[in-house]
Amino acid sequence: MRLLRCGQDSLLVELDSLEQVGALHTALVAARLPDLVELVPAARTVLVSARPGSTGLAAARAVIESADLSRPPDRSPRTIRLPIRYDGPDLDLVAETAGLTVDEVVELHSGAEYTVAFCGFAPGFGYLTGLPEPLRQPRLARPRERVPAGSVGVAGEFTGAYPRASPGGWRLIGRTTAILFDPRRTEPALLAPGDLVHFEVAR
């Protein structure tokens, strides 16, 4: 674990794995420190931002230094089910790369349990871990200029769904009808870090 300074009011904690990120993020959320403005988990880091002029960073530091990163976080996560149709434009490419049939890809992707490791890229875009090994594949060599909202893709160790139309380089395998982000809802983002996610084939 490395602590990196990030301006006057923030600290970037660098960790060795996504599991450690999850453990530290959970510990910091559980500590309910009053002066923290943002807690942003990412692939290998947790960004901690405190209210300017407060003692929030010092309090966070105490939690960070005493957190047990080897233990999976003790929590009872929400489970979110995302209906999906596996008809993405890169489904054949993903199957070919994995050396599987399309049906086997569908079975693998829909059979796994995923965890929202972190969000980013766009509001409501969750990076989901738990992707079966054969589906861990590189991004497209040429990103698409427009990926339709709801598209479900894979890239590296992650799978995820695009909350709205945007450019994107993930290999697209399907599409969900779930509304991943709506700023008018009480809870605008459907997915938050720590949530469990299942893809369910829509009939």
Partner 1 sequence: MSRSCTIVRTGPQALVQDRGRPGHAHLGVPPSGALDQPALALANRLVGNEESAAGIEALLGGLVLRADCSCTVAVTGPAVPVTVDGHRVDSHTPVHLGAGQVLALGSPQGGIRCYVALSGGVDVPEHLGSRSTDVLSGIGPNPLRANDSLALGAPAGLPSGVDVLAASALPGELVVPLLLGPREDWFDADSLARLNGARWTVSERSNRIGLRLEGEPLRRVPARERLELPSEGVVTGAVQVPANGLPVLFLADHPVTGGYPVVGVVAPNSLPRLGQAGPGAALRFGTAQMV
Can residue 1 be called a binding residue for partner 1 (CB under 8 A)? no
Instruction: Tell me the C-alpha distance between 118 and 68, whole Å.
Output: 20
Instruction: Tell me the C-alpha distance between 131 and 157, whole Å.
Output: 6
Write the single-letter amino acid at 47.
L
Can residue 146 be called a binding residue for partner 1 (CB under 8 A)? no
Smallest distance from partner 1 to CB 56, Å: 13
Three-state DSSP class for residue 29:
helix
Which parts of 56-85 interact with partner 1 (CB under 8 A)? none
Q: Which of 24, 23, 27, 26 is CA-nearest to residue 12? A: 24
Can residue 198 be called a binding residue for partner 1 (CB under 8 A)? no
Can residue 149 be called a binding residue for partner 1 (CB under 8 A)? no
Element (H, E) at 24: helix 18-31
Q: For partner 1, which residue of 119, 152, 161, 172 counts as binding (CB under 8 A)?
A: 119
# binding residues, partner 1 (CB under 8 A) = 38
Smallest distance from partner 1 to CB 198, Å: 20
Letters for 24-53 (x = contact with partner 1 by CB under 8 A, - = none) are: -------------xxxxxxxxxxx-x--x-
The two tokens of residue 124 are 């409501």
Q: Which of 144, 152, 146, 136 is CA-nearest to residue 97? A: 136
Point out which residues bind partner 1 (CB under 8 A): 4-10, 12, 14, 37-47, 49, 52, 118-125, 164, 181, 183-184, 188-189, 192-193
